[in-house]
Structure 1
């Protein structure tokens, strides 16, 4: 495989973000917020925060997202918190996804920490 073919095979962070948003929408995630981290953090290019209505839905949203990213891009994601279902973190390299139960999301208010000053959540 040439270097160009390898580069073409690796999805861009925007392609991964688009697939993440599509997956979350398919699984009825609520209050989806995306935050552009480019130039603001070295951890990822994008952060996505959303809610599920129950611990079961939070776990299912996360599980399906990880499956879809593996299937579509061959990307193995790190996942934390799925067993508890209150707050699941999915690390898809260039895109970090947080799936919360609404009460837990309200408590941590992660969006406020990462949104640019003056932005409305």
Structure 2
């Protein structure tokens, strides 16, 4: 199991492997989009991926995913690839904010909102604490 999946598992959010196997056609679109986002971030070697389920807690989305890249270049590349993949898989065009600086990039894919950070910026804003509803570990844990 790689670092990204272990970070997600320790954060209390289910990983794709931990979810019961179901017929993909019976899954909700939000769950399929979430699985796609998690897989793409894993493929792109995102660090410390945390998924926060928001269904029933907030009306903005069903999931919030937070991850880090090692540099602005990696953050920008992950954001662009993720937005392209979301569109290619038929979930519509995702809105992307913050791409020019790539310190913090927001990808709004509708049912899933993704925040990609450089590690220092992620530590500063600590969205996990703000949105985690007490379930997630602090982003700065072990990094400084």
Q: 1:59 aligns with which of 58, 62, 76?
A: 76
- State the partner residue of 2:47: 30
Q: Spell out structure 1 runs of 4+ moving beyond 4 A.
A: none
Aligned residues: 112
Query: 1:73 is paired with a residue of what secondary structure?
Result: coil
TM-score by length of 2: 0.74
Q: 2:129 aligns with which of 74, 87, 112?
A: 112
- State the partner residue of 1:4: none
Unpaired runs of at least 5, structure 2:
1-24, 139-144
Structure (1/2) with the larger strand percentage: 1
* Conserved? CA contact 2:128–2:136, under 8 Å: no
Matched, 1:21 2:45: no
TM-score by length of 1: 0.88
Unpaired runs of at least 5, structure 1:
1-7
Q: 2:117 aligns with which of 73, 81, 100?
A: 100
After superposition, what is the alpha-carbon deviation per residue over 1:78-115, rounded to whole angstroms, capped at 9, x for unaligned? 00001101000000000000000000000000000011
